[in-house]
Chains A and B, each alone.
Chain A
Amino acid sequence: MHTRVADSEDLLPDPEVVKEPVRPMRFVRGAGWTMIGAGALILAFLAYQLLFTNLLNSRSQSQAETALEERFEEARVAPLEPIVLTPLGPPSTIGQDEPEVPVTTPISFFEEALPEIGTAFGRIVIPKIDLDVVIFEGVERDTLKQGPGHMPWTPLPGQAGNAVISGHRTTYGAPFYDLDAMEPGDEIFVETLIGQSTYVVREILIVKPTDVWVTDNRPGAWLTLTTCNPRFSARERLIIVAEMVDGPNFEYAQALLDGVIEGAGF
């Protein structure tokens, strides 16, 4: 029986036959690796945004707690002296009934200087959504990573006017994650150097990010909270407008509102 020993040419695959399947295989393999890479990148992005940023915020908040406690301790040792204002006199009664109790007693006003940008200066507590966090001065990117930030061009919380605080909704500790659960009548407490002020929610709005009118000053004492809406999107802003109902400057704000005294900024 004759057997032929295969020479080297017989062992080599025919180039025409082999080349055709290799090209699509390479493409498929390349596409596969690209998709795996893209998937890994998306997973890493989500892990960074939803886990790592929370860790960063948690560390910042715990450091801020200590700083705030020291700040409050200093205020306890040397409390802020109120500025006593004398009322202008009873409001004009021409064409109106006499006021039942004319305002004659002096009104105390606690002034608090604007803290430096990035300083932890107070605490916001919202029992309805189980929120209790330190608030910072400023709304720069780095400040908001630490916690809710106060817009420096608005009055401080606890003061007359419209104090505006912005906060993250889904990342960096997501302090305002459940802000959409707030309803008119819910209470918000803010503690600063002058003491604790209580606000009650009056209005809930959804506006465009460019609707700056929500930060406008207004008569009385107000607190406006702003955050992204809906969750995981910066398309709109959820706005919670709350009115002061108690606090060291409540009487002063009411007197301003009633026109009994004159204040700066109105």
Chain B
Amino acid sequence: MRRLFGVLPGPAPVRVLLMIILFAVGLVALGFLFDAAGDLLDNGGTIG
């Protein structure tokens, strides 16, 4: 995290904002990934 913070451009407040955005994007991506992987456990039982 610290390394990532160091790599980000701009002054500290901008970096914090970018970190928050990256975190949100990561969460959404993780949600999609979990949803897709969840189909292996239970895809709703549809036929066809």
Contact = CB atoms under 8 A, between A and B. Distances in A.
Interface of A: 44-45, 48-49, 53, 139, 141, 144, 149, 151, 164, 166-172, 174, 176, 207, 209-212, 214-215, 226-228, 232-234, 237-238
Contact of B46 (A48, A166, A171, A172): A166
Contacts of A237: 45, 47
Given A166-B45, A214-B47, 10 more contacts: A144-B44, A167-B45, A170-B41, A172-B42, A176-B45, A209-B47, A212-B48, A215-B48, A228-B41, A228-B45
B47 A226 contact: yes
Interface stretch (B5-13, B15-23, B30-38): B30-38
Contacts of B31: 48
A252 B47 CA distance: 28
Interface residues of B, number: 15
Contacts of A228: 41-45
A45 to B, nearest CB: 5
Given A44-B30, A48-B34, A49-B34, A234 B40 contact: yes
B2 to A, nearest CB: 15
Contacts, number: 75
Nearest to B33: A45
The dominant DSSP class at the A interface is mixed
Given A171-B41, A234-B39, A139 B46 contact: yes
Nearest to B38: A49
B45 A211 contact: no
B44 A167 contact: yes
Contacts of B46: 139, 144, 151, 166, 209, 226
B14 to A, nearest CB: 28
A232 B48 contact: no
The 4 A-B residue pairs with the shortest CB-CB distance, nearest first, are A227-B45, A144-B44, A212-B48, A166-B45
20 contacts: A53-B38, A139-B44, A164-B47, A167-B45, A168-B45, A169-B42, A172-B44, A209-B46, A209-B47, A210-B47, A215-B47, A226-B46, A226-B47, A228-B44, A232-B41, A232-B42, A233-B40, A233-B41, A234-B42, A238-B45
A137 to B, nearest CB: 14
A121 B30 CA distance: 33
Contacts of B42: 168-172, 174, 228, 232-234
B40 to A, nearest CB: 6
Given A171-B42, A232-B42, A234-B42, A212 B37 contact: no
